[in-house]
Each structure stands twice: as structure tokens, then as C-alpha cells.
Structure 1
Amino acid sequence: MEFFNPALEENITFVRPAYFFISGFIGIPHINYYFIFLIFVYIFSVVGNTLVMTVIILDHMLRGPKYVAVFNLALTDILSTTALVPKITDIFLFNHRYISYNECLTFMFFCFSLLSMQCLNLVALSYDRLMAIMYPLHYQVKVTQKVMLGLIGVLWFIAISFTLIAVGLITRLSFCKSVIINSYFCDHGPVLRLGCNDISPSRVLGALLPVVLLWIPLVFILATYCCITYALSKISTRQEKAKALKTCTSHLSLVTIYFLPVTLVFGIGGKMNPIARIINLSLTTIIPPLLNPIVYVFQTQEIKQSLQKLIKVKAQSKIAGKN
């Protein structure tokens, strides 16, 4: 037991606070308008991603492995925004800034695991595109629905496991200093910095998490597109190249939407005003779930055609009902 609680070894009273105080957006003028904006973003994100999921469920033509990953991405987007936006709106718009210790750790677990899965799901989609373009004749054998479900299951396991370890290490900390979290939610870094015993295991894991859950996926995705570019260079006709590349446009759009803001915030975050960094970081977590369904509805021909077909059937059934 002492191994998990070094505070006892050092004869330091082990303190778990009854609550934390989330300081987040304090001092920003007219910040209530931002939270109203967040509510609208949340509503449209849920509606858009629910629409994508509904289309995939109703159309039996959308049963390929690619759409298993698209469905999982839409589901993850709904869950991540639901875990984050209602809570931070309640905290800041209704001034409920105190959050209990257990609630804070639960909040941290769901936010980090779901946001991590958003990133890892792009890995599954990049793998699907890599196999489809490099091995077009064997794609249906190499990438089956079962293979995609297995890959997504592994990615969920990675996201949940690393987050669970991170939250578990927080429970070994003693909080005898401040209880003020300088973030807009129960963020791992700001929380562990409040610990007054040995925080080195949490600090090491905190440095490892972005590498495993952000930078390695990005490197993998970039590597897949290097392979895809090489495969496209072997295609003889421009028409076939354009057709193959078109199947990647929606995924490339999602990668840009997700990674570009994150890399900018992490890249120049140290030079940003702390409040500006908090706002930019919050936007990077809520805007991709809003844009993802828009990208798939407008850039994926199969989903667009399926949606048009469902609308047409609905309209015809209404006309038949009136007659």
C-alpha cells in the first residue's frame, strides 16, 4: 500500500480535498456569449452525428468496414461533446465552479478517453484508405467488417487503458496546497501540479500521453499517406488517380480539422496568453465533432446519395399518407 501512497512514507498527511475549484474562464468579459455558442455547437454536433449514424444504420449498402469506423467516429463525437460541453456550461454559465473530488476524476476519465478515441479513430480510417488504395483487388479480403471491429476495439482499449492509468495515478496524490484548477475542466496537468507529494510518475505519464495518443497516431497517418502517394504514382491514368484520391478527401479533411488546431495550440501554446490558450484549446475539442458530419455528408458520395434516398422515401410516404 505504501508503494501506491508515497505520502505515507514521508510522514505527510494524505489529503483528498472535498472539492476542486475550476477557474477556467474567470475574468473574460462577455464570456456568457461564448457558452451560449457552445450550447448551439453541441446541439448541432449531436444532430449532425446522429444523422450520420442513422443513415448508416438504415442503409444496408453502408455496411462496409469504412462505415463501421465512420459510425464509431460519429458515436465518439456525440459522447465526447456530451461529456464535456454540458458540464463546462453548467460550471461557468451557471457559476457551479466547485466540483467534488470523485466527480472531477470521473469527468477527467471520460473527457480524456473519448477525446483520445476521436484521434485514434482517424488511425482506423487511414488504415482503411491505405488498404483500399494499395491493395484494391484484395481490399475486401484484407479489411473485413470483423477486422475493422477488432481494430476499433483495440483502439478503444488503448484510449481507456492509458486514461485509466493516468486517473489512477492522480488518486495517489496528496492535495495539501491549492484546490484551484487553472483550466476549463478537470485537466490532468493542472490537477497533478496541485499535488504536494511525489508527482513524478504522473508527470512522466502526462508527458507520455500526448506522444501515444496524439503524435504517434499523427505520424502513422502521415506515413500511410506517403504510402498512398507512392501507390497513386504507380497508377497510369489521371482519371484513375483522381478517382482513388477522391476516396481520401473526406478523411484528409477530418485529419486537417482535428490535427491542425491541436498542433498549433501545442506548438505555440507557451507563447499564448493563458486565457487565449484555454479558449483555443476548448475550441479544438468541440469544433471537430461539429464539422465531421458536415464533411461526411457533403464529401462522401455514398452517404450523400443515401441521405437523398431516405429524404425522397420520407417525402413519398407523406404524400401517400395524404392521399
Structure 2
Amino acid sequence: MTQKRILTSIRHPERHVLSSTTVNTMNAINTSFSQNISIVHPEYFFITGLSGIPYSRYYYIFLFCIYFIAVIGNSAVLLLIAVERSLHSPKYIGVFNLALADLGETNAVFPNMMKTFLFDSQYISYNACLANMFFVFFFIGTQCLTLVVLAYDRFVAICLPLRYHAIVTNTVMSLFFSAIWACNACQASLTVYFINRLSFCKSNVIESYFCDHGPVFRLACNDNSINVFIAKFNTSLFLVAPLIIVVLSYLGIFLALSKITTWEGRFKALRTCASHLLVVGLYFLPKICVYIIALTTFLSANARIISTSLAYAVPAMLNPIIYVLNTVEIKDLIRKVLKKRSVGCNIT
């Protein structure tokens, strides 16, 4: 039976790695892995973040602005949909879920980055690192699969308009999102569980801006092949498969639009998909570009950190803006609220 032992990593202001004594001790312990004797966990990880990026303080400020706008925008969308009964429809259940996932993802990543910037503290405890990994992957998966459900909603609305209200109901959408949250919780838990079975005896330095799965499992001394498989599986589950499903759904939508005789009718039908198309493009295109570039060229740690942070930060900021500006129901509701306030001000 595996006996777990927690070893404390030694901090150095000059070198954010384990001391030579600690490394030698860990390497000695690692020689016993063939007998499955011990698993070594550091007390702390050191997240490099943006420390190696020139003028990083300006980039921190830029990310803080993105974070602030994302929190305000997504919170406003959540509040608006929650209090307005006319928006309690299947489509807006999906928009509500997307805003909740965006809000969760930004709060899982950026507060820790702001702590690093404000207090110059790049250390994170081992357990906090695992918790951070869980919530980031949980909300990223929710974002991606929510876009798939919204694509299904648009597909039924365009291709089967007469049966839309019978097929896509509040109950059906609630079941979809309940399944998504349960699936993501299981997958994120599985990812963290297999990280916890690794032994870390080389370094405690994570070259990322959060406790990212890949940079963490690459620090392991023992076999991490199962973690490599999980990383590829997560990529397939949360990037490749959803993108294929969304593309196929829009191929069906465009085929249905081609059967509409008038250009006015086609444009009117396509306009209902505009918000979703923009959000899908914002979510998938940056991540695909980063993934392809990483496969075809050598990305430095700093370039990877900047590209991935932008790929996940910008969509969370722009999604609520897109749905407010491109959704007739929300714009009409805002106009009504502003009109009532202007009337009230004139009366007083």
C-alpha cells in the first residue's frame, strides 16, 4: 500500500527551485519507486507567471482591466436574466450558463495573478494548486460544452422552426446543463486525482500563470503517461469534438437557409445566429491558433503564457458585450428600463 509523505520545499529568494540538498533527498527517495514505497509532494509550487516578460506590470494592468470588465459584464447578464421573466426561455438558460462559466473561469485564474502583482507572492500551496486546477478546468469545460448546446438550440430553431418549442424546452435545457456540470466535475476531479498520484522531486517551478495541467505533470519524477493521455483526452473532449459538432450544426443551418427563397428571409434567420457565431469564433479560433503554433513551432514559455492568457481572458470579457449588442430582446429590455428612468426623472 502506497505511503504518502509530504516534504517541505525550501524557499530561496535567488532561486525559485528546490535546494540541492532537497533535490538529492528527493532523488534518493525516487529510487525506491520501483518498490512503490513513497510519493513526494512539495509543500509549495512556485508559479512563474509573467515574471520573465518585459514590462510585465503593464500587462498585469491590462489583464486586470479585462478581468474587471468581464466580472461586471457577466454579473450584469446573470442579474438581467435572473430578474426578467421574459428572458426565462431555453436560449437564455444557455446564455445564463455561459455567463456563469465565464465568471467562474475569470475568478479561478485572475485573482491569483493579481495577488502576484500586488504582493509579489508567486507561491501557492500544493492543495491550493490542485483546487485551482480543478476549478479552471471545470469552468473551461463548461464554457466549451455550453457553446455546443447553444449551437443545438440554433440548429433546431432554424432547421425545425415549427417543432422548436416542443423539442427545446426549459426542462430539456436544464437537463443538458445539469449533465454538463456533472460531467465536468467528474473530468476535472479525475484530472486532479492523477496529478495527486505523481511524485515531484525535480523542481517546484510551474511555467504558467496558473496551476496548468501540462506544466505540472511534466515536473513529475515517476511515470506520467496516464497524465499525458488525460491531457490529450481533455483536448479532444473540450476543443476538437465540440468544434466538430458546432461546425456540423452550422452546415445544417446553412443548408436550411439555402432553401429559403428570399434573401431577406435568409438574413433574418441568420441574424438570430449572429451572437452565437461571434462567441464561437472568439472561443475556438484563438485556442486553435495557439494549439497549431505550439505544434508547428517552438513557443517560449513567455510567448505561451501570453497567448494562452489572452485566448482565455478576452472571450470572457467580450461574450456579455456581444449578447447585449446583438440580441434584440436584451436591447429592447434595456431601452424600456432607460425610458422608464427618463420618464421618472422628468416627473420629478
**CA displacement at 1:217 relative to structure 2:** 0.5
- Among 282, 297, 313, the residue aligned to 2:324: 297
**CA displacement at 1:90 relative to structure 2:** 1.0
Identity of aligned residues (%): 44
Question: Structure 1: which amino acid aligns with 2:131?
Answer: T
1:136-166 per-position Cα deviation (integer Å, ceiling 9, x unaligned) = 0010000000101111111112222111100
**Alignment map for 1:48-59 (pairs within 5 Å):** 48-59=73-84
Instruction: Give the corresponding residue for 1:317.
Output: 344
Bigger shift: residues 70-79 or 85-94: 85-94
Instruction: Give the corresponding residue for 1:254.
Output: 279
**Alignment map for 1:133-172 (pairs within 5 Å):** 133-172=158-197
Highest RCO, 1 vs 2 (Cα 8 Å, sep ≥ 6): 1
Instruction: Give the corresponding residue for 1:217.
Output: 242
- Among 106, 109, 112, the residue aligned to 2:131: 106
2:72 corresponds to 1:47: yes
Instruction: Give the corresponding residue for 1:88.
Output: 113
Q: Please give the secondary structure, in 2, of the residue aligned with 1:14.
A: strand
2:335 corresponds to 1:308: yes
**CA displacement at 1:98 relative to structure 2:** 0.9
1:116-150 per-position Cα deviation (integer Å, ceiling 9, x unaligned) = 21111101110100010111001000000010111
1:37-75 per-position Cα deviation (integer Å, ceiling 9, x unaligned) = 111111111111122222222322212100000011111
**CA displacement at 1:318 relative to structure 2:** 4.2
Instruction: Give the corresponding residue for 1:288.
Output: 315
Instruction: Give the corresponding residue for 1:205.
Output: 230
Instruction: Give the corresponding residue for 1:75.
Output: 100
2-side partners of 1:104 and 1:262: how far apart? Answer: 23
Q: For the Cα contact (< 8 Å) 1:123–1:220, is it kept in 2?
A: yes
Q: For the Cα contact (< 8 Å) 2:33–2:222, is it kept in 1?
A: no
Note the residue ranges of structure 1 that are not aligned, 5 or more in a row: none
Note the residue ranges of structure 2 that are not aligned, 5 or more in a row: 6-29
2-side partners of 1:147 and 1:25: how far apart? Answer: 43
**CA displacement at 1:8 relative to structure 2:** 5.4
Scaled by the length of structure 1, the TM-score of the pair is 0.94
In 2 relative to 1, CA 11–159 (structure 1 residues): closer, same or farther, beyond 3 Å?
closer
- Among 1, 5, 25, the residue aligned to 2:50: 25
Q: For the Cα contact (< 8 Å) 1:22–1:184, is it kept in 2?
A: yes
Question: Structure 1: which amino acid aligns with 2:340?
Answer: V
**How many residue pairs were aligned?**
321
In 2 relative to 1, CA 273–176 (structure 1 residues): closer, same or farther, beyond 3 Å?
closer
- Among 147, 156, 173, the residue aligned to 1:131: 156
Scaled by the length of structure 2, the TM-score of the pair is 0.88
CA RMSD of aligned residues (A): 2.0
2:320 corresponds to 1:275: no
Q: For the Cα contact (< 8 Å) 1:49–1:78, is it kept in 2?
A: yes
1-side partners of 2:325 and 2:36: how far apart? Answer: 61
Question: Structure 1: which amino acid aligns with 2:310?
Answer: L
